[in-house]
């Protein structure tokens, strides 16, 4: 991989977010989006994963950052897959991430439905693993995928962030913390 760079979004409601990027075929493409985890800094994680990384930006990355900031501020924003380096993922993870990316803003699905959509009905756990290691959270919205029982499941930025992102997209929860949505994306009508 060519020289990698980082650009930090300093102030978000969830702490700093780091975009790690490099040039690919002459264009800047995101290699990782690193969000803060509960009790863990995104900036520290970048330093651990990419020692000596250079902080810089360019107009294309600045545009991605402004769109992430707008999304986190509650605007209805969708991101295209051409912004990210899917080629660094396994074939299975690429398929999972592409199917996840197709879940529209304000919609949810489940790990099992995503697995069935991919023709691997018994692979819900493998889908969960592929999403748990999603290198591009926010850009590929893995927060929109839930457990079969409508509970949140895990998320790199923690369950509180996952719930906040879904709530901002209009998803509602009952008093037990379960999503009240009746139709899940990839569910047959």
What's the N-to-C CA distance of the chain in angstroms?
44
> Please, are residues 42 and 11 in contact by the beta-carbon 8 Å criterion?
no
Long-range contacts made by residues 173-182, C-beta under 8 angstroms, separation at least 24? Answer: 177/151, 177/152, 178/149, 178/150, 178/151, 179/108, 179/146, 179/150, 179/151, 179/152, 180/150, 181/107, 181/108, 181/150
Catalytic pick among 30, 72, 142, 146: 142
Strands 109-110 and 54-55: unpaired
d(CA 177, CA 82): 34
| β-strand partners of 10 | none
Beta strands in 13-157 (DSSP E): 17-24, 27-35, 54-55, 109-110, 145-146
Decide if 58 is catalytic: no
List active site positions.
142
């Amino acid at each position: 991989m060519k020289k990698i760079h980082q650009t930090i979004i300093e102030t978000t409601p969830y702490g700093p977010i780091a975009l790690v990027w490099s040039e690919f075929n002459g264009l800047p493409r995101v290699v990782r989006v690193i969000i803060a985890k509960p009790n863990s800094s995104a900036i520290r994680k970048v330093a651990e994963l990419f020692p000596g990384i250079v902080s810089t930006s360019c107009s294309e990355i600045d545009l991605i950052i402004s769109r992430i900031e707008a999304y986190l501020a509650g605007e209805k924003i969708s991101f295209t897959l051409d912004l990210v380096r899917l080629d660094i993922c396994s074939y299975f993870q690429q398929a999972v991430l592409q199917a996840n990316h197709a879940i529209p803003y304000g919609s949810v699905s489940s790990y099992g439905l995503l697995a069935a959509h991919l023709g691997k009905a018994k692979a819900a756990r493998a889908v969960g693993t592929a999403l748990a290691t999603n290198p591009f959270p926010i850009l590929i919205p893995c927060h929109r995928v839930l457990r079969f029982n409508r509970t949140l499941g895990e998320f790199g930025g923690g369950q509180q962030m996952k719930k906040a992102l879904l709530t901002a997209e209009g998803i509602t929860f009952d008093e037990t913390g379960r999503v009240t949505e009746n139709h899940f994306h990839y569910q047959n009508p």
